[in-house]
Structure 1
Amino acid sequence: MALARAGLAGIAGAAVSALAQFLVVVVVTRSAPLEQAGSFFTAIALALMVAGVARLDAGNGLIFFIARSRTYGYRGMSGYLQAALVPSVLLAVVAGIVLEPLLGVLALAVPVMVAADILLAATRGFGLMRPTVLYDGVLLPVAQLALVGAALWAGAAWLPAAWALPYVLVLAGAALALRGRLPYTPYLPGTGRDLWRYTAPRSLAGAVQAVFQRLDIVIVAVLGGPAQAAVYTAATRFKVVGQLANQGLAQAAQPRLIQALACGDLVRARELYQTTTVWLVLLTWPVWLGYALVAPWLLKIFGMEYGSAVPIAIVLSATMMIATACGMVDVVLTAAGHTTSSLVNLLVALGVTVLLDLLLIPSHGALGAALGWSGGVIVKNLLPLWQLHQRHGLRPFGRHTFRPRSWATA
């Protein structure tokens, strides 16, 4: 029941976030010229990519150590938080300075984005989903929607600042939520070494994942121009629905998976994996089928210029259905401690995406980018699916799939 409540809370926040992000794209595409919208979307993609690299996946490292430390009263946890925050924020500051000519005002937001992500992850390590749902799932996207709308009314030059400002509110909220849970304790020798020994493979994997999620928009802008980037962003906007639903369930299930696998409880791990998979399928497949069917009409919400992106929507829908049927394979793989395998899988998937993009975008534009992204996503899910089956006998579907009781009690 605890997983069901936490997962539903995460999904509720994901739904609000997805809707608000979708409306941001609608507002921008309806109010700004095609090329200006494409430039704005490309700048955002680059900022998110840089922040994803700079955070070094320190948040997931914190979740791992906080979740495992419950048996000894979270001793030394403030030291782990310090060890996670300092290098990540410093790297974000350096990256912002170096990339300021490309990012503009968004360069100032990168360290704030990184710090907010790490603090929110720490709250989830304590089993708290409310701060993530409230601040990251609701406050951030709703505030971005309101401020972006105001910026378009005041002048498009304010768009980047309007999109970035709400991250300050998220950082403040996350710090307040963590303050009462994490009293200061003396820094224990070896804390940073322990954290980064576990996190280092995931740091590179997290960087690759951040690049994998956003690189397609940047490549489209470089090879096809800002207009193609705008079309591609609009057509793939629904991609966030599946990603956020997966994220909402993963945030709730990850500490439980770590505990189960650390204790060698494969029965419990199997139940969690299969339960979250069936929820993913039930929640997202109707969305993807519906999107493929109504895309010819729905895409015109962004403007008549975007109606030609129907093939991209079909590729997106089919790919996301395959991905969600695999379940949270990478989350389970890393919870089992196979961080190096996860890194290799991501590198292979990124290589497939870049290769296909370089081959297909020059001749097919935004559709070529969609096909390249699709190839990478399929590889990224099938490789860990095979590895989990070989190493632990875990599968996304099984007897827990058809037991409604397990959905509520997991």
Structure 2
Amino acid sequence: MTAGLRRRGIAGITGAVFGAFAQFVLAMVVTRTFAPADAGAFFAATALALMAAGIAKLDAGNGLVYFIARAKTYDYLGISGYIRAALVPCVAVSCLAGAVLYPRLGPVAALVPVMAVGDVLLAATRGFGAMRPTVLVDGVLVPFAQLVLVAVVCATDAASWLPVAWGAPYVPALVLAWAGLRRRVPRTPYLPGTGRDLWRYTAPRSAAGAIQAVFQRLDIVIVALLGGPAQAAVYTAATRFKVVGQLANQGLAQAVQARLVTALANGERARAGELYQTATLWLVLLTWPVWLAYAALAPWLLRLFGPSYGAAAPVALVLAGTMMVATACGMVDVVLTAAGHTGTSLVNLVAAITCTVVLDVALIPVHGAFGAVLGWSGGVLVKNLLPLWQLHRRHGLHPFGRHTLTALRIRVTA
């Protein structure tokens, strides 16, 4: 792993760790302040807002990373046109989503466009190889401000204001993301065909990104609908640690994605394999101790959310085992899409979310939160093992191999 890539990887992981810790503390503050029904309603509302923003951003951020990273020169002629072409549909769809959800979510629905557009702008900065804006804004500012504002609301015992306090930090995040990107992109005339090229690549990923956003949060919403808000609170508390794996994977993917795109575009399969295997090793070394510790300490850790939450230890055990398998596959979907297989990625995600929904509907009414984690686990395994097999068959890429030993020696001797 080069020094620059190592720094970006460490930066991504640092932001992920801070964000995961802040989200864990936020959940603990909410569950210890409010009854499970109120806490569960809050968790369901925020999950719905995140799902809507994830759908509305149309995965345009990853499309921008792809085109910016493939630029051959640093004048980036036409890049500002790509950014404008990406933002217009996102703004339109996110405003529509906010309007549809306003009767259900209230004022926090108005923040859905802010969340979606801010995410796309931050992604564009990563296309230039810059990790600092993402780490500082998405990894530090937003989760820290959410924790502070939610704690203030908890101190006043005003449960109805929890979603607004949680969503407010996305406003300054949008401003900072725009400022960080503006410094890097000269404004150039819109080139004909720019939007067509961008959306030809991104369209399959837009559907896949929407399904991915639903997949990450749907379980909480389904538990709230089928099992009630109290079960949603128990499930959210017991699975709060899954954000560690999600954010760690996201942090490494953000650091490596642009280089993966460049390597695969240039036909450098060996270089792409090295990046994939090195990132997988880091992911396993950094997260497996967390999952093992969580599995061992779950009965005690869950009581931090309140005395009644300790009974959810079986949920934590399934979570830990599933995440260990998922992290061993590495950022497999990112590699698949970097290789240009966006349609295949979409099919994989459809299969994963179908598996989750079928298992959830069958198991949640009988087993509550435990049924939900079984459904989530089935979907996660499908989502990781399918692209793992496809990468092996099409490109001969594996999450572990000779580059793993090289990266391990570098880590040990560093």
Residue 65, structure 1, aligned to residue 62, structure 2 = no
Q: What's the counterpart of residue 389 of structure 1?
A: 392
Q: What's the counterpart of residue 363 of structure 1?
A: 366
TM-score (norm: length of structure 2):
0.97
Q: What's the counterpart of residue 202 of structure 1?
A: 205
Alignment of 1:122-201 (within 5 A): 122-154=124-156, 155-201=158-204
Q: What's the counterpart of residue 287 of structure 2?
A: 284
Q: What's the counterpart of residue 94 of structure 1?
A: 96
Query: Using the alignment, how far apart are the partners of 1:217 and 1:405 within structure 2?
Result: 37
TM-score (norm: length of structure 1):
0.98
Contact 2:281–2:408, Cα closer than 8 Å, also in 1: no
1:221-253 CA deviation, whole Å, 9 max, x = no partner? Answer: 000000000000000000000011101100000
Query: Using the alignment, how far apart are the partners of 2:146 and 2:182 within structure 1?
Result: 26
Query: Using the alignment, how far apart are the partners of 1:406 and 1:105 within structure 2?
Result: 52
Residues 231 and 237 (structure 1 numbering): CA distance in 2 closer, same or farther, change over 3 Å? same
Query: Using the alignment, how far apart are the partners of 1:71 and 1:175 within structure 2?
Result: 23
Q: Runs ≥4 in structure 1, deviation > 2 angstroms?
A: 70-73, 404-408
Q: What's the counterpart of residue 223 of structure 1?
A: 226
The alpha carbon displacement at 1:406 in A equals: 7.6
Residues 327 and 407 (structure 1 numbering): CA distance in 2 closer, same or farther, change over 3 Å? farther
Query: Using the alignment, how far apart are the partners of 2:33 and 2:12 within structure 1?
Result: 31
Q: What's the counterpart of residue 28 of structure 1?
A: 30
Query: Using the alignment, how far apart are the partners of 1:239 and 1:261 within structure 2?
Result: 30
Query: Using the alignment, how far apart are the partners of 1:103 and 1:93 within structure 2?
Result: 14
1:243 maps to a residue whose letter is Q
Query: Using the alignment, how far apart are the partners of 1:295 and 1:191 within structure 2?
Result: 51
Q: What's the counterpart of residue 12 of structure 2?
A: 10
Higher mean alpha-carbon deviation, 65-74 vs 192-201, is at 65-74
1:387-408 CA deviation, whole Å, 9 max, x = no partner? Answer: 0000000010001111137857
Paired positions, count: 409
Contact 1:41–1:229, Cα closer than 8 Å, also in 2: yes
The alpha carbon displacement at 1:101 in A equals: 1.1
Q: What's the counterpart of residue 75 of structure 1?
A: 77
Contact 2:146–2:167, Cα closer than 8 Å, also in 1: yes
Residue 338, structure 1, aligned to residue 305, structure 2 = no
Alignment of 1:302-341 (within 5 A): 302-341=305-344
Residue 272, structure 1, aligned to residue 275, structure 2 = yes
Query: Using the alignment, how far apart are the partners of 1:71 and 1:334 within structure 2?
Result: 23
SS of the residue 2:144 aligns to: helix
Q: What's the counterpart of residue 46 of structure 2?
A: 44
2:105 maps to a residue whose letter is L
Contact 1:61–1:199, Cα closer than 8 Å, also in 2: yes
SS of the residue 1:403 aligns to: helix
SS of the residue 2:38 aligns to: helix
Query: Using the alignment, how far apart are the partners of 1:405 and 1:100 within structure 2?
Result: 50
Contact 2:281–2:407, Cα closer than 8 Å, also in 1: no
Contact 1:333–1:388, Cα closer than 8 Å, also in 2: yes
Identity %: 68
Give the CA RMSD over aligned residues: 1.1
Q: What's the counterpart of residue 103 of structure 1?
A: 105
Gaps of 5+ in 2: none
Contact 2:53–2:115, Cα closer than 8 Å, also in 1: yes
The alpha carbon displacement at 1:70 in A equals: 3.8
SS of the residue 1:188 aligns to: coil
Query: Using the alignment, how far apart are the partners of 1:70 and 1:173 within structure 2?
Result: 27
Query: Using the alignment, how far apart are the partners of 1:210 and 1:253 within structure 2?
Result: 21
1:117-162 CA deviation, whole Å, 9 max, x = no partner? Answer: 0000010001100000000000000000000001112222221111
SS of the residue 1:367 aligns to: helix
Q: What's the counterpart of residue 406 of structure 2?
A: 403
1:97-120 CA deviation, whole Å, 9 max, x = no partner? Answer: 011111111111100001100000
Higher mean alpha-carbon deviation, 308-317 vs 397-406, is at 397-406
SS of the residue 2:397 aligns to: coil
Contact 1:28–1:37, Cα closer than 8 Å, also in 2: yes
Residues 228 and 109 (structure 1 numbering): CA distance in 2 closer, same or farther, change over 3 Å? same
